Amino acid sequence: MNRTGLLWGGGGILLLLFTICVSATIGSVHIPLQQIPAILLHQIPWLQDMIPKTWPGSYEQILLKVRIPRIAIGVLVGACLSLSGAAFQGVLRNPLADPYTLGVSSGASVGAAFMIYFGIQYSLVGQWSVPIVAFTTGVLTLWLVMRLAQDEGKIPTERLILAGVVMQAFLGAFVSLLVALSDKTINEVMFWLMGSLSLRGWAYTAVLGPYLIVGFIIVMGYARTMNILALGEREAAHLGIRVDRTKMIILLTATFMTAAAVSVSGVIGFVGLIVPHMIRLLVGSNYKLIVPLSAIGGGIYMVIADTLARSVLAPTEIPLGVVTAFIGAPFFAYLLHRNKKTRRGRLS
């Protein structure tokens, strides 16, 4: 990675660490900001003697058992969704594409809600059952959206977004039907509709972490290929890129990460739309920078959104999907307006 990438990456990691520390201070019990790093570093065995314990034991319990696990899940979910959005936008060459607007998030939530409704969320392969089923329904949704959008072998941007919106509405209605039919599991199913990170402990990081690591490695490995795809599929084919195979691998990987995130947090919209687009405005169109910075930026964005969700109307917690929708929907409208102006400029 060149010097520019190191500077942006280092700055992003520092901002992520600062965001985590600030978020960890906020709650019913205020923990001073300067004590957050000390408490965390004190957990490392060879640093315990170097860092004297000057804080109440309750601070340590709240931080390590409640706040940090939730923040860690937020970072992983945000990174998965943002990285998926960057992958969708790169391979489809469409700045409006993301797991939410293409209906993949809703498709994955159908699988999760189905498992919960019938009480079989641990019956296949333990804690991996819901992510695997969510991935399967997410892949089917992506396939249906692309089939609906296809026109004489091509997939126009407008048709792709419209197909995604239609599929999202249909699958949302299906999940709503499960809610209406449910008595005992209604709260759990509603969780998938509205999105939340509450009551999510360290066990969920173990579920989500491998998905993010594998997904990041694959997408990062195709960063140069996505740069070439930006020139056009025909040009990429002339340069030796196996376009259809590449698109399939990247789209499946993005769906893989989206399904894992949805299985943990429920449907959280617009993260994969906003973050990669903002990163692209900052660093340009080089996916060797966009991919890693999207993962970092997604973590930052999700931690901030979740902090707002649990603190703005405390002790009432706002569903996380509501917070991201309040931010994301106007941004999506702005992108649509901008694309319309750009298209008119090209035609004139």
Query: Predicted confidence band at 155 (pLDDT cuts at 50, 70, 90)?
Result: low
Domains and CATH numbers, the chain: 69-337 (1.10.3470.10)
As a whole number, mean pLDDT of residues 142-166 equals 79
Instruction: Report pLDDT for 135.
Output: 81
Res 75 pLDDT > 90 = yes
Side-chain half-sphere CA neighbours of 243 within 13 A? 14
Query: Predicted confidence band at 237 (pLDDT cuts at 50, 70, 90)?
Result: confident
Output the six-digit token pair for 10: 């280092």
| 3 state SS of 1 | coil
Instruction: Identify the CA nearest to 281 among candidates 203, 338, 348.
Output: 338
Res 77 pLDDT > 80 = yes
pLDDT by residue (tens digit) across 39-52? Answer: 888 888 887 778 88
Q: What are phi and psi of 277, to 5 degrees?
A: -65, -45
Res 20 pLDDT > 60 = yes
pTM: 0.86
Instruction: Report pLDDT for 276.
Output: 92
- Better-scored residue on pLDDT, 179 or 18: 18
* CA gap 217, 235 in Å, rounded: 25
- Which is it for the CA torsion 263, 287, 244, 161, positive or negative? positive
Number of residues that make up the chain: 348
pLDDT by residue (tens digit) across 78-125? Answer: 999 999 999 999 988 877 778 877 888 888 888 888 887 787 777 777
Instruction: Report pLDDT for 325.
Output: 83
Instruction: Report pLDDT for 127.
Output: 67
| 3 state SS of 234 | helix
* CA gap 270, 298 in Å, rounded: 11
Output the six-digit token pair for 217: 């490695």
Query: What helix, strand, coil percent values describe the chain, rounded to 5?
Result: 75, 0, 25
Output the six-digit token pair for 132: 């695997």
